[in-house]
A = this chain, B = another copy of it.
Amino acid sequence: MTTGGATQTRRRGRPRSDRARRAILKAAEELLLAPSGDAVSMDAVAARAGVSKATIYRWWRSKETLTLDALYDEWATASRPRDTGSLRGDLLSLLRPWVELAGRRPYGPVIARLITEARTDPTFAEEYQARFVQPRREAGRAIFARSIERGELPPDTDVEVALDLLYGPLYHRLLHGHASFDDRFARDVVDTALAGILPRRE
């Protein structure tokens, strides 16, 4: 992991400056989401953080890895989904906070950049998946598993397709920006995906 976690055995030498680490992440995040929208440059991040480029590259392999961390700082706070007892409730508790978070600021371009890089560099792709995609997808899988256990869904439900039917539309609007990306849309997606577009025959 880039950011480093527990300080395993206490290393020799000067310890890492946490002030620098935080300044870098803050600067990166501010530049990423700047209204101007122009791409972040490492020189700019270094300058704004009052830090040397070498320090950044000591802890982050690339601009994209830094972007990942800068974003993750905020996104990790997305609330964990609750067990509401129903599939619909669980999914709403999974997706609505995520949509609220993703819509709060212009994340679209940033995510697009991350995806671009992920499709170019397989190593980065792994990090991206591990941090941004799989955790939420795994949470979704757990929800569907509970629903199947409850007998709400048949055991042969194709969960992967179901997840794409939920996350796909959300990412679609987040990235393309062709229509509103809000709580209402999140609810519409959940409801329509669960019930289907065609009306039920009574």
State the A residues within 8 Å of B (CB): 37-39, 87, 106, 108-109, 112-113, 115-116, 118-120, 125, 129, 133, 137, 152-154, 157-158, 160-162, 164-165, 167-173, 175-179, 185, 188-189, 191-201
Chain B residue numbers with a CB within 8 Å of A177 are 119, 125
The reply to whether B112 and A108 form a contact with Cβ atoms under 8 Å apart is: no
The reply to whether A172 and B176 form a contact with Cβ atoms under 8 Å apart is: no
Tallying the copies of this chain within the complex gives: 4
20 residue pairs from A and B, CB less than 8 Å apart: A109-B116, A129-B176, A153-B197, A153-B199, A158-B192, A161-B188, A164-B169, A164-B173, A165-B165, A165-B168, A165-B189, A168-B168, A168-B173, A169-B169, A171-B175, A172-B172, A191-B196, A192-B196, A192-B197, A193-B196
Q: Bound state CA distance, A176 and B132, in angstroms? A: 11
The reply to whether B178 and A165 form a contact with Cβ atoms under 8 Å apart is: no
The reply to whether B178 and A133 form a contact with Cβ atoms under 8 Å apart is: yes
The reply to whether B112 and A162 form a contact with Cβ atoms under 8 Å apart is: no
- Choose from B112, B118, B179 the contact partner of A164 (Cβ within 8 Å): B179
The reply to whether B165 and A169 form a contact with Cβ atoms under 8 Å apart is: yes
Q: Bound state CA distance, A98 and B125, in angstroms? A: 25
Q: Bound state CA distance, A178 and B136, in angstroms? A: 13
Q: Bound state CA distance, A106 and B177, in angstroms? A: 23
Q: Bound state CA distance, A78 and B154, in angstroms? A: 37
Q: A133-B178, A153-B197 are in contact. Are A162 and B115 (CB under 8 A)?
A: no
- Choose from B120, B160, B175 the contact partner of A109 (Cβ within 8 Å): B120
Q: Bound state CA distance, A173 and B161, in angstroms? A: 10
The reply to whether B194 and A119 form a contact with Cβ atoms under 8 Å apart is: no
Chain B residue numbers with a CB within 8 Å of A197 are 153, 157, 162, 165, 192-196
Closest approach, in angstroms, between the C-beta of A22 and any C-beta of chain B? 24
Closest to A128 in B: B176
Closest approach, in angstroms, between the C-beta of A28 and any C-beta of chain B? 17
